[in-house]
Structure 1
Amino acid sequence: MKSWCGLILILVNFVMLCKGDDPACPVGCNCSVPLVVNCSSSGLTSVPEGIPLDTETLYLQGNKITRLEVNSFANMTSLITLRLDSNLIKTIDNGAFNGAESVETLNLANNNLTSLNRDMFDGLLGITSLDVAHNLLSSIEDFAFVDMIFLTELHLNNNSIEHMTANTFKGIDNLEELHLQYNKINELKENTFSDLRNLTSLRLDVNSIASIEKKAFSGLNSLTFLKLSSNDLTQLNGDMLDGLSFLKRLDIDRNVISTIADDTFTATPELIDLGLNINNMSEISSTFWTGLGKLQDLNLRYNRLQELKVDSFRGLTNMEHLELDSNRIQSIEKGAFNGLDHLIYLEMSFNTLTKITADMLTGLRKIDYINLSANNLSSLQENLFTECCINMTNLLMYYNQFEVLDPDWFIGLDRLNKIDLDTNKLRSIPGEIFEVLPSLSYLILTGNRSTAIAICLNTGRGPGATTLG
C-alpha cells in the first residue's frame, strides 16, 4: 500500500511541475523539460523572479513589461533563446543582460524603444540574432553593437531611423543579414557599411533615400542581394555602386529614376537580376548596360519608354528574361534586340505598338514566349517569325484590334503551342491556320465579336472557309 502511495505522490508532483505549479517555476509561467520556461501572454509587468538558472529558452513575449532592470537575467548562463517581443519596453538599463552571455537569439521586436546604445547590450557576447524591428527607434549610438562579434542577423526594420554613420555597425563583421527597410533614412554616407565584409543580404527598401555617397557600399565584398526599392533616387551612376563587385540581385524598383550614367553597372559585373520597374525612364541608351554581361533578368515595367533604338540592350549577351510592359513604346527600330541571343521571355504588353515587322525581332533566336497584348495591333507582316522565332511556343496578343488572321503571319512557327487572341474583333478563323501551326494546342478566342467562331478546314475539295457562327 505504501508503495502505491509513493507512486501516486510522484505522479502528482510531475503533473504539478508540468502545469507550472512547481516552486521552482515563476507564478504565471509554465516550465517544462528540456529547460523551457513559457511566461508569454501572462499579463506580466516585469521580468518575474525565480526563473530557473538552467533555463535554455525563455518566452516573455506578449506581456506588459515596460523596463528591463539591471541584472534581469543574472547568472542565467545556459540561456540561449530569449523572447521579449510584443511588450511595452521603453527602457533597458545598462547591465540588464549581465550574466546572460550564452544568449544566441534575442527578440525585442514590437516594443517602444526609441534609441539603442552600446551599454544597453553589455553581456550579450554570444548573440547571433538580434531583432529590434517595429519599435520607435530614431537613433543608434555609434558602436552600439561593437561587442556582438558573433552576430549574423540584425533586424532594425520598421522604425524611424534617419541617420547612420561609419561607426554605427562597427565590430559586427560577421553579420550576414541586415534589415533596414521601412525607416526614414534619407541618405547613405561614405563607409556606412565598411566593416560588414561578410554581409550577403541588405534591405534598404521603403525609406526616403535620395542620395548615395561614393563608397557608401565600400567593404561589402560578400553582398549578393541589395534592395533599394521604394526610395527617392532620381539617377544612378557608377560611384553609387562602388564596392558591390559580387552583387547578384539588385532591386531599385519604385524610385523616380530618369537617368542612368554609362558607367553605372561596371561596378557590378556579377549581377544576374536587375529590377528597375516603376521609375521615370523615358529612353534606353546602348551604353547603359556596360559591365552586365552576366545579367539574365531585366525588369523595366511601368516606365515611360516610347521607343527602342538599335542596340538598346547591347552587351546583355546572357539575358533570358526581359519585361517592357506597361510603358508607352510605339516604335522598335531594326536591331533593337541585337545581341539577345539567349532571350527566351519577352513581355511587351500594354504599350502603344501599331505594327510589328520582322526586322524589329531580329536577334531573338531562342525566344520561347512573346506577349504583345494590349497594344494597337490590327495586322502582322507575312513571314514575321521565320527569321527569329522558330522555337517559340507561346504567343499572346489579347486586347488588340485584329479583325482577321492570315495564316502567312505564322509561317515557321512549327513549335507554337498556344495563341491567345482574347478580346479582339475577330469574326472568322481560316482553317489553314492549323496547317501552318502543326503543334497548336490552345487557341483562345473568347471576347471577340461573335459568340461563336466557326472554323472550317481546307479538305482539298474547295477553298478553306470560315463563317460566322
Structure 2
Amino acid sequence: MLCQVIHITLVPVLLLGTFLLPTGHAGLANCPIGCQCDDDTLVVTCGEGHLDVLPIVLNPSLQRLVIKNNKIKTIDSSMQFYAELTFLDLSYNHLFNMPPRTFAYQKKLTELHLNHNKVGSISNKTFLGLESLSILNLRGNFLDELTEGVFFGLKKLEELNLGQNRIGKIDSKAFEGLTNLKVLYLDDNTLSAVPSTAFGPLTSLAELYLGINSFTTIPKDAFVKLNKLSHLDLKGAALSNVTSESFNGLEDLRTLDLSDNRLNRIPTTELMSLVRLEELALGQNDFDSISTAAFAGMSNLRKLDISGSLKLNRIDGGAFSANANLEEIVIASNKALTEIHEGALSGLPHLKRLILKDNALTTLSDGLFSWNELVDLDLSENPIVCDCRILWLRNVLVNKSNGSQNQIPVICASPDRLREQALQVLSPDLLGCSHTDPRQQAIICAVLVAAAAILTTLALVLYKCRRRIREVVKGGWGNSAIGRKEREYQKTFSEEDYMGRHSNPCGLGVHPTTLNNYQINNHHTHGIRHIPVTEL
C-alpha cells in the first residue's frame, strides 16, 4: 500500500521534473518526430505529419507553436502547459471540437490561427482568457451562425477572419465588445442580406470583406454606422443594383471592389458621393460600354481595374475625363472589347501604368495615350493589325526603348507576312507607310490644303465671270466685225458712262450712281440712234 502511494506521488513529480529541466535539454530531448524545436528562439514548427494530438512534452516556455497539415481533431487540457505562447497556428488540421475555456491559460497569446479545420460551432466561452488576442483566424470552417456576444471577451481583437464558412445568420449583438476591431472578413458565406444591425459596435472598423454572398442589392444606410471604413469588398456578392443611398456614411472610403457582380451599367451617379475614393474595381460585370465621364465625382481616383467583363465592347472618348489623378488603369481580358475611341485615355498627366492586355483590339487611334509619366505598358495578347495606322505606336515604342519604361512587346496578329513579329522592330515600309517623316507629312498636308483653297477660289471666280468669258470666247471665234462695231458704239458714250458699264464686267456688283446715270442717258436718247462715224 505504501509503495502504491509512493508511486502515485512520484509520477507527477517526475512529470513536473521533465518541465523543470533546463530549457535547451527539455526542448531537444522531447521534440516530436517531424518537428523542428529551437530553444533559443522558443519556436516549434511541425510540418506535414501524422500528429493527431497536441504534444505535451514541449518546452513550457514555448512562445511560437506551428502545427499545420496534421490530423489533430481536438484541443484539450494540454493547452494549459503552454501559458507563454504568443503565436499558435493549428491550421489545416481536423479540428471539430474546442471545449469551453480551452484557451483560459493563454493570457499572452496575440495570434490564433484555426483556419481550414472542421469547427462547426463556437460560443461565448470558447475564447475566454484570450485577453491579449489581436488576430483570430477561423476561415474555412463549418460555422453556420454567430450568436450573441460570441467574441465578447476579445477586447484587443483587431482582425477577425470568418470567411469561407456557412454563416447565414448573425445575431445583432454578435460583435459586442469588439470596439478595437479594424478588419472583418465575412466573405464566401451564405448571407442573403448585409448584416447592418450587427455593425453597431464596430466603431473602429477600417476594412470589411462581404464578397461571395447573395445580397442582390444593398439597402439604404447599410454601412452608415461604419464611418471609419476605408476599404469595402463586395466582390461576387451577386449585386444587380445599387442606389445612391447604398453607400451613405462612407465619405472616407478609399477602396471599393464591385467586381464579379451583375451590374448592367457603370453606377456613375450612385458612386458620385465617394469623393475620396482612390481605388475602384468594376470588372466581370454586365455593362457593354464605358461612356464619357463615367466616373464623374471621383476626382481622387488613382487606380481603376475593369477586367474580365464579357460584354464590354467600347470605351468612349473622355471616359476618364473627370479623373485626372489616375495613375494606373487595368482594362484586361475583356474578350469583346474592340473599340477605344479617340481621346478615351487623354487628359491623364499622371498615368504611370496602363494594362490593355488580352482584349480584342486590332488597332489604336493616333495618340491614344500620353507618355509623359507612363512607366508600364502592356498591350500583349491583342489581335493587332500591323499597318500604317499603328505607325505612331511603333514610333513611340522605338523612342522609349532606351528609357526606364517596362515594355512588353506588341506582337502583330496580321497581316500574315508580319504575324508573330514585334511591332517595335518593324520598319515603316513594312507597315505600308510611304511617307514616314512627320515633317514631310506636314508639308504635304499643307501643300494639299493650299492647292485645294486655290482651286476653290478659281472656281468661284470663273463662275462669277462666266458671261464675260462667254462674250470673250465668242468675240475670239469669228465675231470680229461685231466686236469692232461694239467698240465704235461704246465711243459715243461719255467717259463716265463707259467706266460705269465696264468697271465690273463679271457682275460682281454695280455702283448705284453709275447705274442711275446710265438710266438717265437712256431716257433722254430714247428712240434716237447715234450714227457711228464709220457709217457717215
- TM-score normalised over the length of structure 2: 0.63
8 Å contact kept, 2:146–2:169? yes
The alignment status of 1:182 with 2:140, answered yes or no, reads yes
Cα root mean square deviation, aligned: 4.0
The alignment status of 1:460 with 2:427, answered yes or no, reads no
Offset of 1:175 from its aligned partner?
Answer: 1.2
8 Å contact kept, 1:127–1:151? yes
CA distance in 2, matches of 1:440, 1:284: 43
In structure 1, the residue matched to 2:22 is: 55
CA distance in 1, matches of 2:344, 2:34: 69
CA distance in 2, matches of 1:251, 1:349: 20
For residue 410 of structure 2, the aligned residue among 445, 448, 456 is 445
Offset of 1:344 from its aligned partner?
Answer: 1.5
In structure 1, the residue matched to 2:316 is: 357
Offset of 1:439 from its aligned partner?
Answer: 8.3
Offset of 1:332 from its aligned partner?
Answer: 4.3
8 Å contact kept, 1:306–1:331? no
8 Å contact kept, 2:386–2:412? no
Matches within 5 A, 1:375-454: 375-386=335-346, 388-407=347-366, 409-410=368-369, 414-416=372-374, 418=377, 420=379, 422-430=381-389, 431=391, 442=407, 444-450=409-415, 451=418
Deviations 1:440-466 (A, max 9, x none): 66585314323166545343334699x
CA radius of gyration, larger in = 2
CA distance in 2, matches of 1:266, 1:144: 37
8 Å contact kept, 1:262–1:287? yes
8 Å contact kept, 2:317–2:340? no
Offset of 1:368 from its aligned partner?
Answer: 2.2
Offset of 1:151 from its aligned partner?
Answer: 2.8
In structure 2, the residue matched to 1:327 is: 285
8 Å contact kept, 1:179–1:204? yes
In structure 2, the residue matched to 1:298 is: 256
CA distance in 1, matches of 2:44, 2:372: 62
Greater length-normalized contact order (CA 8 Å, ≥ 6 residues apart): 1
Offset of 1:222 from its aligned partner?
Answer: 1.7
Contiguous gaps of at least 5 residues in structure 2: 1-13, 36-40, 402-406, 445-536
Offset of 1:395 from its aligned partner?
Answer: 3.6
Deviations 1:19-50 (A, max 9, x none): xxxxxxxxxxxxxxxxxxxxxxxxxxxx9997
The alignment status of 1:279 with 2:246, answered yes or no, reads no
The alignment status of 1:139 with 2:106, answered yes or no, reads no
8 Å contact kept, 1:355–1:379? yes
Residue 369 to residue 113, structure 1, CA distance change in 2 (3 Å): closer
Contiguous gaps of at least 5 residues in structure 1: 1-46, 66-78
Identity %: 24
8 Å contact kept, 1:203–1:228? yes
Offset of 1:124 from its aligned partner?
Answer: 5.2
Offset of 1:251 from its aligned partner?
Answer: 2.8
Offset of 1:184 from its aligned partner?
Answer: 0.8
8 Å contact kept, 1:201–1:223? yes
CA distance in 2, matches of 1:288, 1:439: 48
For residue 229 of structure 1, the aligned residue among 163, 182, 187 is 187
Deviations 1:290-327 (A, max 9, x none): 23233322223322222113323233222222222222
Deviations 1:101-124 (A, max 9, x none): 75545566666554445x554565
The alignment status of 1:366 with 2:325, answered yes or no, reads yes
In structure 1, the residue matched to 2:129 is: 171
Offset of 1:432 from its aligned partner?
Answer: 5.3
For residue 159 of structure 1, the aligned residue among 92, 108, 117 is 117
364-373 or 331-340: bigger deviation: 331-340
178-187 or 135-144: bigger deviation: 135-144
In structure 2, the residue matched to 1:219 is: 177
8 Å contact kept, 1:217–1:241? yes
SS state at 2:304 partner: strand
Tell me the matched-pair count: 400
CA distance in 1, matches of 2:45, 2:360: 60
Offset of 1:166 from its aligned partner?
Answer: 2.0
